[in-house]
Structure 1
Amino acid sequence: MIVICGEALVDLVPDPSTDSGELGPLHPRLGGGPYNVAIALSRLDVATSLLTRLSADQFGDKLLERLHASGVDSSLVERGAEPTTLAVVGLGADGSARYSFHTEGTAGRFVADPGPLPDEVTALSFGTLSLLLEPCASVYEKILLREGSRGRFVALDPNIRADLIDDAESYRRRFAGWLPGVSLLKLSVEDAEWLAGGSGTDLTETLRSWQRAGPAAVVLTRGGDGLAVLTGSGELVEVPGVDAVVADTIGAGDTVQAALLAWLHHNDALSAEAVRELGPQQWEQALRFAASAAAITVSRPGAEPPHLAELG
């Protein structure tokens, strides 16, 4: 089983029929980076559990219902009286999404450490707000480092929300501290540039420096330009994006994270050692699988990742 660690929230997405310059209705869509990864991974026929804290409000009930409908195990889900985190979404003309978060005092921030995870857990995935907002960030960090030190496969997608980071250098130092416990690092070009301190840096060399700190491989997402990976042997492998009519980009990166984990799982490569040994041809297959899954997600409003059968 793969355990996804992190927040679940509700995206408030503007109605597509709203005239430019006007305020229209906002439609609630269930989401949050880790929550989307859990849904997508389970739909790709991988046993999945979500470690999070959900509100006991109506949004929390619906989040839990969708987990069950998608086959995600909820034995590590806590419930609390605090409200659900909300994210107001703004959509660009190209479907790209920007977010305004309402997180103060919300349920996801108060998750408790369940202690060492059972033996059937083969991997964990972390990222997004859960590693940023306290007190939950310290809880998830503790779990990441503990389970990584036990030899568990750990995937990390930082999914930077720069507007919520008060001290950029402190966050960058914290990110560096996670890397020794990480088996697979996946991030966007924008995230990589922010973590590197700006767009003027040599991004490939930065990826290599992060890889030397711990990850067996580093995957870089480039939006419509496709995906790249710095392999265990230090080779850069690239694949183009898959054409799609974009409804919006909500959940695209989360789908890539889930699809990579699913491909590794289905190909008996869910260990740091196995990932280091993957060759260019295998990585091309993995990246094309992830790109195809993300193309389906962006063709649908909200984060609606595909089922395995849709990927042939």
Structure 2
Amino acid sequence: MIAVLGECVADAFTTTHPSTSTDGRGGGGDRSGGGGYDGGRGGLGLRVLPGGGPANTAVALARLGTPARFLGRLSGDVFGGLFREHLAASGVDLSGCVEAAEPSTLAVAALDAGGGADYTFYAEGAADWQWSRDELAPARLGAATCLHTGSLALVRAPGRAAVEEFARAASRHATISVDPNVRPSLAAKGDYQVARWCSWADILRLSDDDLEFLLPGVSPEHACDTWHEAGARLVVVTRGAAGALVSLNGERATVPAPKVEVVDTVGAGDSFTAGLLHHLHAGGHLGGRLDGLDLETAVEAAAFAAHVAALTCSVPGANPPWPAQLTAPPAPHN
């Protein structure tokens, strides 16, 4: 089993509604269905989908067939219900979750022409960041051979210290994977203590945007060497359409990205991480310090991960593929 520790986020995508009337009467309608009266002002609609980097990774792992346990603080609000339904429907084990009194995190996403998302977060006082040491007792990990964490839960106070302590303790008997998933609007550069995390992490997966924020002007190869020296054995830098750089203790190779018509890139990095961990898990490489892993196997895992990520890019939102969808290349979006 792979355990994933982190946040769920309600991803809200905007849609615009034109004014229903120029005379302020909404075309003669009322407030009860059929579009309803809006005073002729139009408006902004939100389509809310379950998201959050760690939750996306847990969903993708479970859909691929790797037993996945999600360790999250799930609110009792309407978004918390959405998260539970989505995770459970994908086969994720929720027995390690905490019932939280605080509200869920909301992110409003604006998509650019290339399908990239720019998020505005509503996260103050949200359930995801309130972890305590009592809630993260070692037993919550269960029999997992790997723990994946990172993203906002590892950098947001007050819970970040408890999350890091839990991950450090888990590293004594499980492979640890970290994805910084940088969000500059919610955390400062100094909050991302990647070199310190590498002292207990075995796998570091980050995007080229993350790299530019964390180490501006530093080449990916030099950054990989820096994090290898800090302790991480496998570092993977994803580069969108340019593929990925795989670095195993300084041995390096590149993996191309499959060609796909991109609807949006929401959840692509999370799906890549899941594909990477799934492939390593299937090969029996998780549960220790990756001592038996060679570069060829790491590249094979990254190539599989790139295919999973491409399929996620071919559909709206963070909607990773099921195994039956892996037999064909990503379908173009009409």
TM-score (norm 1): 0.91
CA distance in 2, matches of 1:216, 1:272: 11
CA distance in 1, matches of 2:184, 2:204: 19
Give 1:128's aligned residue.
151
* From 256, 259, 264, the counterpart of 2:275: 259
Give 1:175's aligned residue.
194
Q: Secondary structure at the match of 2:56?
A: helix
Question: CA separation of 1:164/1:273 partners in 2, compared to 1, >3 Å: closer, same or farther?
Answer: closer
Give 1:13's aligned residue.
13
Deviation at 1:202, TM superposition (A): 3.2
Is it true that 1:101 corresponds to 2:109 in the alignment?
A: no
User: Runs of 4+ in structure 1 displaced over 4 angstroms?
Assistant: none
Amino acid at match of 2:147: L
Q: Secondary structure at the match of 2:107?
A: strand
C-alpha deviations, 1:194-246, integer Å up to 9, x for none?
211x1x223311211101211111001001111111023x2211111111111
C-alpha deviations, 1:106-142, integer Å up to 9, x for none?
1112133331135511110011111121112112111
Correspondences of 1:188-207 after superposition (within 5 Å): 188-196=207-215, 198=216, 200-207=217-224
Amino acid at match of 1:97: A
Question: CA separation of 1:23/1:224 partners in 2, compared to 1, >3 Å: closer, same or farther?
Answer: farther
Query: What do you get for the CA RMSD once the two structures are aligned?
Result: 1.8
Q: Please, which runs of 5 or more residues in structure 2 have no aligned partner?
A: 19-41, 328-334
CA distance in 1, matches of 2:255, 2:187: 32
Deviation at 1:66, TM superposition (A): 1.2
Q: Please, which runs of 5 or more residues in structure 1 have no aligned partner?
A: none
Segment of structure 1 superposing worse, 214-223 or 263-272: 263-272
Correspondences of 1:246-285 after superposition (within 5 Å): 246-274=262-290, 277-280=293-296, 282-285=297-300
Q: Secondary structure at the match of 1:181?
A: coil
CA distance in 1, matches of 2:196, 2:7: 21
C-alpha deviations, 1:39-89, integer Å up to 9, x for none?
000001011011110110111011111111111001111112211100010
CA distance in 1, matches of 2:292, 2:119: 35
Contact 1:193 1:203 in 2 (8 A): no
CA distance in 2, matches of 1:209, 1:272: 22
Amino acid at match of 1:128: S
CA distance in 1, matches of 2:179, 2:43: 33
Deviation at 1:144, TM superposition (A): 1.2
Is it true that 1:31 corresponds to 2:61 in the alignment?
A: no
Is it true that 1:294 corresponds to 2:312 in the alignment?
A: no
Deviation at 1:151, TM superposition (A): 3.0
CA distance in 2, matches of 1:247, 1:202: 29
Amino acid at match of 2:164: E
* From 162, 171, 185, the counterpart of 1:163: 185
Amino acid at match of 1:59: F
Question: CA separation of 1:202/1:292 partners in 2, compared to 1, >3 Å: closer, same or farther?
Answer: closer
Q: Secondary structure at the match of 1:90?
A: strand
**Relative to total residues, which structure has the larger helix share, 1 or 2?**
1
C-alpha deviations, 1:174-208, integer Å up to 9, x for none?
32211110010000111112211x1x223311211
Segment of structure 1 superposing worse, 113-122 or 246-255: 113-122
C-alpha deviations, 1:134-167, integer Å up to 9, x for none?
112112111111111x13100000010112224x
Using the aligned pairs only, state the percent identity: 37
* From 233, 249, 257, the counterpart of 1:216: 233
Is it true that 1:3 corresponds to 2:6 in the alignment?
A: no
Question: CA separation of 1:272/1:229 partners in 2, compared to 1, >3 Å: closer, same or farther?
Answer: farther
Amino acid at match of 1:278: D
Contact 1:217 1:275 in 2 (8 A): no
CA distance in 2, matches of 1:239, 1:101: 32
Segment of structure 1 superposing worse, 249-258 or 270-279: 270-279
Is it true that 1:242 corresponds to 2:254 in the alignment?
A: no
Deviation at 1:276, TM superposition (A): 5.7
* From 153, 159, 173, the counterpart of 1:151: 173
Give 2:102's aligned residue.
82
CA distance in 1, matches of 2:261, 2:43: 25
CA distance in 1, matches of 2:243, 2:287: 25
Question: CA separation of 1:299/1:275 partners in 2, compared to 1, >3 Å: closer, same or farther?
Answer: farther
Deviation at 1:23, TM superposition (A): 6.0
